[in-house]
């Protein structure tokens, strides 16, 4: 007779091996991997939704011209590290901690860099039209009762102030899109799963959000390919009819939001972090596949970080993938490199020869894709930098200030200044005084 515990034991051994590999690569990871210290007793806790200004991002940010959406995120990391990182980079307007405490990072009226490469209903660059709220937690785990209460209070205040309808409260996974990569040949939805469980009807109801979008407008219009149907199923599960909405909120600590059970012919969608014939590194790690914080433990016992892997075609089945906390929620997808990130076709896909794709080969003037033949593009040397879906303006001179060319995008981390002498300089590494005179500015459309 088969030992009924063999499979779970094998799984635990795999898990332990992956954890050991991860800890070996990152000294200090063992500390971070420990369960969070016990929270103080309920009586000592702040009331859920109490706003603390303790962690405020210190640099100035421009005021948004309009506010149409609220975008919800999960930090994918523990409280302390997440809040420090988000504060340092100004990567959201608010953080909701596990105990319900709300921290202001960037003032609600100002731009926070939270959405990265994003699109909703044809509009790109969601940072300039949305408020970003990070919730300490993980995309595939329910948030705490205190977080539900705090977020509900915060949302109701913001919805009222900015007249934002419930269906415009979205998650990062709904608006993030990816440029083509090794696995996806087209621009696609599914770059991130950030915040996805907050779109399930039970979670929405608990947050006081009674309406949600019925479908992905950009996939429907053909602007993006749906690269993650499992995610789509969760995001667009319809709300129950109004009368059927539960009247009593779930008791604190119970799990209100659960992913729908998979159909029998469909493997459990989020169960496996093991590479197999039908499960790639991208399927498991999404846009963190090549991050230094993602670790691949190979069946032969060796391991590598995502940024150490050169050939994505040679990933052995059975490799265990551990996605660590990312250095940044919005790892810059703007600038890609031929040879490191893939071929020009991998990186730009359909847009390879477009007017909005720009190539910067070492030691040469830059070229728009539309000015090159397909043979020229295929022959671009390794190390050529690529920007997809960008606009160019300039040059920046004393009479033509950069603000007149690209507005508030002038100091975004994914805006680049190019001169033939100095190459590309990211927008977050310049001040208005240090922009190279005569530089062209490349910014996202």
Phi-psi region of 300 (alpha: psi -120 to 50; beta: other; left: phi over 0): alpha
Nearest approach in angstroms of CB 271 to Zn ion is 22
The site that binds Zn ion (CB under 5 A) totals a number of residues, namely 4
Binding mask 190-209 for Zn ion (x = CB under 5 A): ----x---------------
Distance CA 63, CA 160 (A): 19
Q: How buried is residue 337: exposed, middle or buried, by Cβ count under 10 Å (0-12/13-18/19+)?
A: middle
Q: Is 142 exposed, middle or buried (0-12, 13-18, 19+ CB in 10 A)?
A: buried
- The answer to whether 349 touches 187, Cβ cutoff 8 Å, is yes
- Minimum Å gap between C-beta 82 and Zn ion is 11
From the CB of 90, what's the least distance to Zn ion, in Å? 14
Binding Zn ion (rule: CB under 5 A), the pick from 61, 73, 182, 385 is 73
Q: Which of 213, 262 has the CB closer to Zn ion?
A: 213
Judged by beta carbon, residue 287 or residue 329, the one nearer Zn ion is 329
Closest distance between Zn ion and the C-beta of residue 139, in Å?
A: 8
Stretch that binds Zn ion, among 3-11, 60-68, 141-149, 186-194 (CB under 5 A): 186-194
C-beta closer to Zn ion: residue 105 or 194 = 194
Span of 39-47, 177-185, 188-196, 344-352 interacting with Zn ion by CB under 5 A: 188-196
CA–CA separation, 285 vs 321, rounded Å?
7
Q: Could you tell me which of 286, 304, 292, 293 has the C-alpha nearest to residue 21?
A: 304
- Cis peptide leading into residue 194 (ω within 30°): no
- Within residues 327-356, the interface with Zn ion by CB under 5 A covers 329
Among 139, 172, 187, 188, which residue sits at the site for Zn ion (rule: CB under 5 A)?
172
Instruction: Pick out residues in 302-331 that bind Zn ion (CB under 5 A).
Output: 329
CB of 410 to Zn ion, least distance (A): 24
Residue 286, interface with Zn ion (CB under 5 A)? no
* Distance of closest approach, residue 281 Cβ to Zn ion, in angstroms: 20
Q: Which token pair is 289?
A: 């596949």
Cα separation, 409 vs 444, whole angstroms: 8
418/416 Cα distance (integer angstroms) = 6
Toward Zn ion, which CB reaches closer, 130 or 357?
130
Residue 217, Cβ density class (10 Å: 0-12 exposed, 13-18 middle, ≥19 buried): middle
- Report the interface residues with Zn ion, using CB under 5 A: 73, 172, 194, 329
């Amino acid at each position: 007779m088969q030992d009924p515990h063999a499979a779970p034991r094998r799984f635990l051994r795999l898990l332990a091996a992956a954890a050991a590999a991860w800890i070996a690569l990152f000294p200090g990871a063992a500390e971070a991997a420990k369960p969070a210290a016990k929270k103080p007793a309920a009586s000592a806790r702040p009331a859920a939704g109490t706003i603390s200004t303790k962690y405020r991002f210190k640099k100035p940010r421009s005021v948004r011209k309009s506010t149409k959406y609220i975008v919800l995120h999960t930090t994918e990391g523990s409280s302390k590290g997440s809040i420090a990182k988000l504060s340092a980079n100004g990567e959201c307007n608010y953080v909701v901690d596990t105990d319900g405490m709300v921290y202001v990072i960037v003032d609600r009226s100002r731009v926070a860099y939270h959405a990265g490469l994003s699109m909703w209903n044809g509009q790109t660059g969601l940072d300039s039209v949305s408020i970003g709220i990070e919730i300490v937690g993980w995309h595939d785990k329910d948030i705490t009762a205190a977080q539900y209460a705090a977020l509900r209070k915060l949302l109701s205040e913001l919805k009222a102030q900015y007249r934002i309808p419930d269906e415009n409260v979205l998650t990062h996974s709904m608006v993030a899109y990816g440029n083509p990569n090794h696995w996806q040949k087209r621009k696609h939805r599914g770059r991130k799963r950030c915040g996805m469980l907050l779109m399930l009807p039970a979670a929405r109801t608990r947050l006081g959000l009674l309406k949600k979008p019925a479908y992905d407008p950009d996939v429907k219009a053909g602007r993006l390919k749906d690269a993650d149907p499992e995610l789509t199923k969760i995001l667009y599960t319809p709300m129950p009819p109004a009368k059927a909405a539960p009247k009593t909120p779930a008791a604190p600590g119970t799990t209100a939001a659960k992913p729908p059970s998979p159909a029998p012919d469909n493997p459990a969608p989020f169960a496996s972090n093991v590479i197999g014939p039908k499960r790639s590194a991208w399927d498991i790690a999404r846009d963190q596949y090549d991050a230094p914080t993602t670790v691949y433990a190979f069946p032969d016992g060796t391991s590598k970080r995502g940024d150490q892997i050169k050939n994505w075609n040679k990933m052995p089945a059975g490799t265990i993938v551990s996605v660590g906390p990312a250095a940044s929620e919005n790892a810059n997808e703007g600038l890609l490199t031929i040879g490191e990130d893939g071929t020009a076709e991998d990186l730009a896909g359909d847009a390879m020869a477009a007017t909005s794709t720009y190539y910067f080969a070492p030691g040469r003037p830059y070229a728009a894709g539309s000015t090159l033949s397909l043979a020229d593009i295929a022959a671009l040397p390794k190390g050529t930098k690529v920007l997809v879906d960008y606009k160019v303006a300039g040059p920046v001179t004393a009479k033509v200030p950069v603000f007149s060319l690209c507005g508030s995008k002038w100091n975004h981390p994914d805006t680049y200044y190019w001169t033939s002498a100095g190459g590309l300089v990211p927008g977050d590494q310049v001040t208005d005084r240090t922009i190279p005179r005569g530089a062209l500015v490349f910014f996202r459309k």
